[in-house]
Amino acid sequence: MNIVMVTNTYSPHVGGVARSVDAFSAEYRRRGHRVLVVAPEFPSMPENESGVARIPAIQNFNGSDFSVVLPVAGLLTEILDDFQPEIVHSHHPYLLGMTALRIARFRELPLVFTHHTLYEQYTHYVPGNSPALQQFAIELATHYANLTDQVFAPSESIASLIRERGVRSPVTVVPTGVDFDRFSRGDGKRMRAALGIPGDAFVAGHVGRLAPEKNLSFLAEALAVFLAVHPQAHVLVAGEGPSESLIRSIFSRAGQSRRLHMAGVLDHDELIDVYHAMDVFAFASKSETQGMVLTEAMAASVPVVALDASGVREVVIDKENGRLLDKEAPDAFARALRWLVDLPEDALAAVRRSARDTALAFSMPVTAGKALACYKTLGEKAYVKRAKEFDQWQRVLNLIKTEWDIVLSMAGAAGSVLGGETGNDKEN
Angle (CA) 307 313 314, round 5°: 150
How many helices (H) and strands (E) the chain has is answered by 15, 15
The angle that helices 292-299 and 345-361 make with each other, rounded to 10 degrees, is 130
| pLDDT number for residue 95 | 81
Is residue 165 within 8 Å of residue 198, measured between CB atoms? no
Lowest mean pLDDT among 50-59, 115-124, 171-180, 389-398: 115-124
Average pLDDT over residues 85-105: 91
State yes or no: pLDDT of 118 exceeds 50. yes
pLDDT, tens digit, 9 for 90 and up, residues 18-52: 889 999 999 999 999 999 999 988 877 888 889 99
pLDDT for res 229:
95
User: For position 135, what pLDDT does the model report?
Assistant: 77
Contact 330, 222 (CB under 8 A): yes
Is the confidence at residue 347, as pLDDT, over 90?
yes
Separation of alpha carbons 259 and 239, rounded Å = 17
CATH number of 2-177+366-414: 3.40.50.2000
What distance in Å separates the CA atoms of residue 124 and residue 136, rounded to the nearest whole number? 13
Local confidence band at 213 (pLDDT 50, 70, 90 cut-offs) = confident
- Between 401 and 354, whose confidence is greater? 354
Higher pLDDT, 82 or 136: 82
Element (H, E) at 129: none
Residue 418: its pLDDT value, please?
33
The number of beta carbons lying within 10 Å of the beta carbon of residue 34 is 15
d(CA 241, CA 256): 21
Alpha-carbon distance of 116 to 123, in angstroms, equals 15
What count of Cα atoms within 13 Å lies in the side-chain half-sphere of residue 316?
Answer: 31
Q: What is the mean pLDDT of residues 146-150?
A: 95
pLDDT at 16: 79
The C-alpha torsion from 142 through 177 and 3 to 148, rounded to 10°, is -10
**Confidence (pLDDT) at 61:** 44
Across the chain, mean pLDDT equals: 86
**Domain residue spans of the chain:** 2-177+366-414, 180-362
Q: Report the chain's C-alpha Rg in angstroms.
A: 23
DSSP readout, 371-387?
A: HHHHHHHHHTSPP---H
Torsion region of 259: left, alpha or beta (phi above 0 gives left; psi -120 to 50 gives alpha): alpha
> Residues 294-299: what's their mean pLDDT?
96
Q: Do domains 2-177+366-414 and 180-362 have the same CATH topology?
A: yes
What is the structure's pLDDT at 74? 66
- The neighbour count for residue 83, using CB atoms within 10 Å, is 17
C-beta atoms surrounding 96 within 10 Å: 23
- With H, G, I as helix, E, B as strand and everything else as coil, classify residue 5: strand
Q: Is 325 helix (H, G, I), strand (E, B) or coil?
A: strand
- The pLDDT of 286-290, averaged and rounded, is 80
Tell me what the mean pLDDT of segment 69-88 comes to: 81
- Cα separation of 202 and 231, whole Å? 9
Q: May I ask the CATH architecture of the domain 180-362?
A: 3-Layer(aba) Sandwich (3.40)
Q: Is the peptide bond before 12 cis (omega within 30 degrees of 0)?
A: yes
Specify the pairing of strand 233-238 against strand 202-207: parallel
Q: pLDDT category, 175, cuts 50, 70, 90? A: very high
Chain segment 379-414, per-residue pLDDT in tens: 999 888 887 777 776 776 676 566 555 544 544 443
pLDDT of residue 412: 45
Is residue 113 within 8 A of residue 75, CB to CB? The reply is no
Q: Check residue 206 and give its pLDDT.
A: 98
- Please state the pTM of the whole predicted model: 0.75
